[in-house]
Structure 1
Amino acid sequence: MDHNISLITTIAAALGLGLLLGMLAVRLRLPALVGYLAAGVIIGPATPGFVADVALASQLAEIGVMLLMFGVGLHFSLDDLLEVKGIALPGAVLQIAVATLLGLGVAHWWGWSMGAGLVFGLALSVASTVVLLRALEDRGQLDSFNGRIAVGWLVVEDLVTVLVLVLLPALAGPLGGKTSGDPSASLWATLGWTLLQVGAFVAFMLVVGRKLFPWFLWRVAKTGSRELFTLAVIAAAVGIAFGSSHLFGVSFALGAFFAGMVLRESELSHRAAEETLPLRDAFSVLFFVSVGMLFDPRVLVEHPLQVLAVLAIILFGKSLAAFVLVLVLRYPLNTALTVSASLAQIGEFSFILAALGMSLGLLPELGQNLILAGAIVSIAVNPVMFKAIAPLERWVRARSAHARHMERSPDPLAELPATVTHERLTDQVVLVGYGRVGRRIAEELTRQGVHFVVAEQNREMVEDLRRRDQPAVAGNAAEPAVLIQAHIARAAMLVIATPDTFHVRAMIETAKVLNPGIKVLVRTHNEEEARLLREETGGTVLVGEHELARSMTRHVMEGLAHAAAAAH
Structure 2
Amino acid sequence: MEHNVALLAIVAGGFVFAAIFGYLADRLRLPPLVGYLVAGVMIGSSTPGFVADSALASQLAEIGVILLMFGVGLHFSAADLLAVGGVAIPGAILQIAVATLLGIGLTELWGWSIGAGLVFGLSLAVASTVVLLKALEERNLINASSGRVAVGWLIVEDLAMVLALVLLPAFAGVLGGHAEAEAGGNAAVAITIAITLLKVAAFAVLAIFLGPKVVPWILTRVARTGSRELFTLSVLAIALGIAFGAAEIFGVSFALGAFFAGVVMSESNLSHRAAADSLPLQNAFSVLFFVSVGMLFDPSILVREPLAVVGALALIILGKSISAFILVLLLRYPMGMGLIVGAGLAQIGEFSFILAGLGSSLGLLPQEGQDLILAAAILSITLNPLVFMAAEKLLPVMPTLLPFVPSGYGKRKRDILSRELERIRAQRDERDRRHQLEMEHLVETFPMFAGVDEHSQEELLLLFRPKSADPGDRVIRVGDRGDGMYFISSGAVQVQLEDDEIELGAGSFFGEMALLSGARRTADVVAVDFCQFLVLERRDFNMFMSRHPQLRAAVSTMAEQRRERNASRQQRSQSLEAK
Determine which of 268, 288, 300 is the counterpart of 1:298.
Answer: 300
2-structure distance, mates of 1:242, 1:546 = 34
Instruction: Find the counterpart in structure 2 of residue 247 from structure 1.
Output: 249
| TM-fit CA distance, 1:407 | 3.9
| TM-fit CA distance, 1:314 | 0.5
Instruction: Find the counterpart in structure 1 of residue 379 from structure 2.
Output: 377
1-structure distance, mates of 2:11, 2:380 = 26
Determine which of 419, 444, 451 is the counterpart of 1:434.
Answer: 419
| TM-fit CA distance, 1:203 | 1.4
Residue 163 to residue 106, structure 1, CA distance change in 2 (3 Å):
same
1-structure distance, mates of 2:249, 2:92 = 28
| TM-fit CA distance, 1:184 | 2.3
Residue 89 to residue 108, structure 1, CA distance change in 2 (3 Å):
same
The answer on whether the counterparts of 1:69 and 1:256 sit within 8 Å (CA) in structure 2 is yes
Residue 224 to residue 4, structure 1, CA distance change in 2 (3 Å):
same
Q: Tell me whether 1:141 sits opposite 2:141 in the alignment.
A: yes
Determine which of 333, 336, 357 is the counterpart of 2:335.
Answer: 333
The answer on whether the counterparts of 2:332 and 2:413 sit within 8 Å (CA) in structure 1 is no
Residue 2 to residue 158, structure 1, CA distance change in 2 (3 Å):
same
Q: How big is each residue's C-alpha offset from its partner over 1:464-518, in whole Å with a ceiling of 9 and x where there is no partner?
A: xxxxxxxxxxxxxxxxxxxxxxxxxxxxxxxxx9x9xxxxxxxxxxxxxxxxxxx
> The residue matched to 2:203 in structure 1 has which SS?
helix
Q: What residue identity is the alignment partner of 1:434?
A: R
The answer on whether the counterparts of 2:84 and 2:417 sit within 8 Å (CA) in structure 1 is no
Structure 1: where are the runs of 5+ without partners?
Answer: 416-430, 444-496, 500-543
1-structure distance, mates of 2:432, 2:62 = 36
1:140-539 counterparts in 2 under 5 A?
140-184=140-184, 186-403=188-405, 405=406, 407-408=408-409, 433-435=418-420, 438=423
The answer on whether the counterparts of 1:43 and 1:52 sit within 8 Å (CA) in structure 2 is yes
The answer on whether the counterparts of 1:64 and 1:284 sit within 8 Å (CA) in structure 2 is yes
1-structure distance, mates of 2:12, 2:59 = 15
State the number of aligned residues.
453
Instruction: Find the counterpart in structure 1 of residue 29 from structure 2.
Output: 29
Q: How big is each residue's C-alpha offset from its partner over 1:25-50, in whole Å with a ceiling of 9 and x where there is no partner?
A: 11111111111111111111111122
1-structure distance, mates of 2:103, 2:258 = 29
* TM-score normalised by structure 1 residue count: 0.74
> The residue matched to 2:419 in structure 1 has which SS?
coil
Q: How big is each residue's C-alpha offset from its partner over 1:240-266, in whole Å with a ceiling of 9 and x where there is no partner?
A: 111221211222122111111111111
Q: What residue identity is the alignment partner of 1:273?
A: A
2-structure distance, mates of 1:548, 1:138 = 29
The answer on whether the counterparts of 1:22 and 1:32 sit within 8 Å (CA) in structure 2 is yes
Instruction: Find the counterpart in structure 1 of residue 100 from structure 2.
Output: 100
Q: How big is each residue's C-alpha offset from its partner over 1:134-187, in whole Å with a ceiling of 9 and x where there is no partner?
A: 111111111111111010111000000010011111111111112113432621
Q: What residue identity is the alignment partner of 1:263?
A: M
Residue 15 to residue 397, structure 1, CA distance change in 2 (3 Å):
same
Q: What residue identity is the alignment partner of 2:361?
A: S
2-structure distance, mates of 1:370, 1:328 = 32
2-structure distance, mates of 1:436, 1:37 = 35
2-structure distance, mates of 1:151, 1:258 = 13
Residue 98 to residue 440, structure 1, CA distance change in 2 (3 Å):
closer
2-structure distance, mates of 1:215, 1:90 = 36
> The residue matched to 2:48 in structure 1 has which SS?
coil
1-structure distance, mates of 2:55, 2:414 = 54
Q: What residue identity is the alignment partner of 1:188?
A: A
Q: What residue identity is the alignment partner of 1:364?
A: P
2-structure distance, mates of 1:6, 1:408 = 56
Stretch moving more, 279-288 or 558-567? 558-567
1-structure distance, mates of 2:178, 2:19 = 41
Q: How big is each residue's C-alpha offset from its partner over 1:428-465, in whole Å with a ceiling of 9 and x where there is no partner?
A: xxx99525655798x9xxxxxxxxxxxxxxxxxxxxxx
> The residue matched to 1:199 in structure 2 has which SS?
helix
Residue 433 to residue 556, structure 1, CA distance change in 2 (3 Å):
farther
2-structure distance, mates of 1:290, 1:413 = 40
Q: What residue identity is the alignment partner of 1:176?
A: G
Q: What residue identity is the alignment partner of 1:267?
A: N
2-structure distance, mates of 1:138, 1:358 = 35
Q: What residue identity is the alignment partner of 1:124?
A: L
2-structure distance, mates of 1:298, 1:313 = 21
Q: Tell me whether 1:6 sits opposite 2:6 in the alignment.
A: yes
> The residue matched to 2:51 in structure 1 has which SS?
coil
2-structure distance, mates of 1:555, 1:340 = 48
The answer on whether the counterparts of 2:325 and 2:339 sit within 8 Å (CA) in structure 1 is yes
* TM-score normalised by structure 2 residue count: 0.73
Q: How big is each residue's C-alpha offset from its partner over 1:194-217, in whole Å with a ceiling of 9 and x where there is no partner?
A: 111111111122222221122111
The answer on whether the counterparts of 1:30 and 1:380 sit within 8 Å (CA) in structure 2 is no
The answer on whether the counterparts of 1:64 and 1:286 sit within 8 Å (CA) in structure 2 is yes
Q: What residue identity is the alignment partner of 2:320?
A: K
Structure 2: where are the runs of 5+ without partners?
Answer: 448-488, 492-503, 509-579
Q: What residue identity is the alignment partner of 2:269?
A: E
1-structure distance, mates of 2:280, 2:424 = 33
The answer on whether the counterparts of 2:83 and 2:421 sit within 8 Å (CA) in structure 1 is no
Residue 182 to residue 439, structure 1, CA distance change in 2 (3 Å):
closer
Q: How big is each residue's C-alpha offset from its partner over 1:299-348, in whole Å with a ceiling of 9 and x where there is no partner?
A: 11111111110111100101101111111111111111111111111111
2-structure distance, mates of 1:558, 1:388 = 55
2-structure distance, mates of 1:87, 1:440 = 19
2-structure distance, mates of 1:70, 1:169 = 29
| TM-fit CA distance, 1:386 | 1.7
The answer on whether the counterparts of 1:333 and 1:407 sit within 8 Å (CA) in structure 2 is no
Q: What residue identity is the alignment partner of 2:40?
A: G
2-structure distance, mates of 1:565, 1:80 = 45
| TM-fit CA distance, 1:550 | 9.0
Instruction: Find the counterpart in structure 1 of residue 70 from structure 2.
Output: 70
The alignment's C-alpha RMSD in Å is 3.0
Stretch moving more, 368-377 or 112-121? 368-377
Q: What residue identity is the alignment partner of 1:4?
A: N
Q: How big is each residue's C-alpha offset from its partner over 1:361-390, in whole Å with a ceiling of 9 and x where there is no partner?
A: 111111111111111111111112222233
2-structure distance, mates of 1:318, 1:88 = 15
Residue 131 to residue 110, structure 1, CA distance change in 2 (3 Å):
same
The answer on whether the counterparts of 1:432 and 1:438 sit within 8 Å (CA) in structure 2 is no
The answer on whether the counterparts of 1:22 and 1:34 sit within 8 Å (CA) in structure 2 is yes
Q: Tell me whether 1:45 sits opposite 2:45 in the alignment.
A: yes
